[in-house]
Copies of this chain bind each other. A is one copy, B any other.
Amino acid sequence: MNPRAGILVTGTEVLSGIISDRNGPWLSERLREIGLDPAVIQIVADRPDDLFAALRWMADQNFAVVLTSGGLGPTADDLTAEIVGRFAGREMVLDPRLEERIAEIVESITARWPGLDRAAIRESNRKQALIPRGASVLDPVGTAPGLVVPPTDDQGPVVVVLPGPPRELQPMWKTALATPPMQALLSDLPTYHREIVRLFGLPESEIANTLRAAEQAGLELEPLEITTCLRRGEIEIATRYEPPAQPAYDALIEFIRERHGERLFSEDGSTVDEQVAQLLAGRTVAVAESCTGGLLAARLTDRPGSSAYFLGGAVVYSNEAKVALAGVDAALITRFGAVSEEVARALAHGAIERFGADIGIGVTGIAGPEGGSDEKPVGLVCFTVAIRQGSESTLSARLPGGRADIRERSTTVALHLLRRVLRGEAETELPGVPGGAADPASAQSG
């Protein structure tokens, strides 16, 4: 078993649910990468007693490392550095070089807010230059410095003190790893491989069955640490193992590939978004979407550089907009309804036409909670991906969940359909995507 580590997230606004913590999960992944086992993520308020009690408890659990996030700002309730100092038995001393550095940063930021009391701000930022004696300072990314505080007399955990904003914390993590206390610790750890594969079109329970079947077939799974989860409608299998277990891992993937075929769409950890960006290879794409309301265009433009292949989208919520913006024949809407495969097809071709794109995607469906009927229930979504003067593929899916789920999963289905068309696998069905209105049980899926 690897040395264990604890993550201590501080902040009343995180604990009270006003903002959600992104640092705990991120740090947890980083710990696993370097071969430490994250044993707990604990979120406490900015109260000295709670903070100190949590540190004590983590030390009692013999954690080798404790990471803290938050509580490094200039205000009075930012007290992580001081509490960690007390916990480690180190007095607080002023670091003049750090004080200078913080003053520079604060000056450059406050310059744009006229009328603030600069002297008061500098004073309160001085507090941030007080550090436990013997700690390594991590230079500020925003205004707050981080710290790596070694234990006194080699008793207790190394405490890595990081700021709360993710965009400050994340770059600082690398710097923290380079400090002497972390280097000493890392030199004793085994190295790990960590691989991710992704499947689309399976219920999560089926993966548990697959792992059981692999075991029954005699595959050696003990040296593999396997985590599965459902994310955005896809199943992700993350596996961590030491290098000698490579054959065991390869055998597992071979087993999954044989059992699930096409549904295993990524063996190298790439997402469907990345694969689609790659597969487009110079071709351009445009969308005409209804129920997803812009989310499909937003997802396609999420990646830097997407302007190389994404031309644009029409968010055609009203029927009039479907006709005017995407060139859908009004008669089609009258005859088949706005949510129909016929209209999805017209939207895809309209996108090609209007944007001059090589590939068009059309999406129309009922995201709910209103607007469903027996024939066309909430969750019914029709998709078409068409290549200009080439193949096209259309399907209807019945997606589970509430409005937000249906909208988000629709973008996932659209991307998978696009992927298959780009790979020349144009079919009228995605394996494992539950079909249209004819299948009432599918409404219950989770």
User: What residues of chain A have their CB less than 8 Å away from a CB belonging to chain B?
Assistant: 12-22, 24-29, 32, 38-45, 50, 53-54, 57, 61, 74-75, 105, 108-109, 111-113, 116-117, 120-121, 142-143, 165, 167-168, 203, 205-206, 208-209, 227-231, 236, 238, 286-287, 292-302, 304-307, 310-318, 320-321, 324-325, 354-356, 368-371, 401-405, 407, 434, 439, 441-442, 444-446
Copies in the complex: 2
Q: Contact at B16–A165, with CB atoms within 8 Å?
A: no
Which residues of B sit under 8 angstroms from A299, Cβ to Cβ? 294
- Residue in B13, B39, B325 whose beta carbon sits within 8 Å of that of A44 in the complex: B39
Q: Which 5 A-B pairs have the closest CB atoms?
A: A294-B297, A293-B301, A294-B294, A17-B25, A312-B321
Chain B CB count within 10 A is highest, among A57, A298, A370, for: A298
Which residues of B sit under 8 angstroms from A434, Cβ to Cβ? 112
- Residue in B20, B168, B238, B321 whose beta carbon sits within 8 Å of that of A16 in the complex: B238
Docked Cα-Cα span, A322 to B262, in Å, equals 39
Q: Contact at A446–B74, with CB atoms within 8 Å?
A: no
Q: Looking at chain A's contact residues, is the secondary structure mostly helix, strand, loop, or mixed?
A: mixed
Q: Contact at A43–B24, with CB atoms within 8 Å?
A: yes
Q: Contact at A39–B45, with CB atoms within 8 Å?
A: yes
Q: Contact at A317–B310, with CB atoms within 8 Å?
A: yes
Q: Contact at A293–B304, with CB atoms within 8 Å?
A: no
Closest Cβ neighbor of A9 among chain B residues? B41
- Residue in B18, B294, B296, B446 whose beta carbon sits within 8 Å of that of A142 in the complex: B446
Extra inter-chain contacts (11) besides given A307-B318, A311-B320, CB under 8 Å = A13-B227, A15-B41, A16-B29, A18-B29, A39-B45, A112-B439, A293-B297, A294-B300, A294-B313, A301-B317, A324-B355
Which residues of B sit under 8 angstroms from A293, Cβ to Cβ? 297-298, 300-302, 306, 310
- Residue in B20, B75, B109, B439 whose beta carbon sits within 8 Å of that of A20 in the complex: B20
Give 29 CB contacts A-B under 8 Å.
A14-B25, A16-B227, A16-B238, A17-B29, A19-B229, A19-B230, A20-B21, A40-B54, A41-B43, A57-B57, A112-B439, A112-B442, A113-B206, A116-B206, A116-B209, A167-B402, A168-B446, A294-B294, A294-B315, A297-B315, A301-B317, A304-B370, A311-B320, A312-B317, A313-B315, A315-B315, A318-B355, A324-B355, A324-B356
Which residues of B sit under 8 angstroms from A444, Cβ to Cβ? 105, 108-109, 112
Q: Contact at A227–B12, with CB atoms within 8 Å?
A: yes
Closest-CB distance, A366 to chain B (whole angstroms): 11
Docked Cα-Cα span, A316 to B354, in Å, equals 11
Q: Contact at A113–B203, with CB atoms within 8 Å?
A: yes
Q: Contact at B316–A312, with CB atoms within 8 Å?
A: yes
Docked Cα-Cα span, A341 to B74, in Å, equals 37
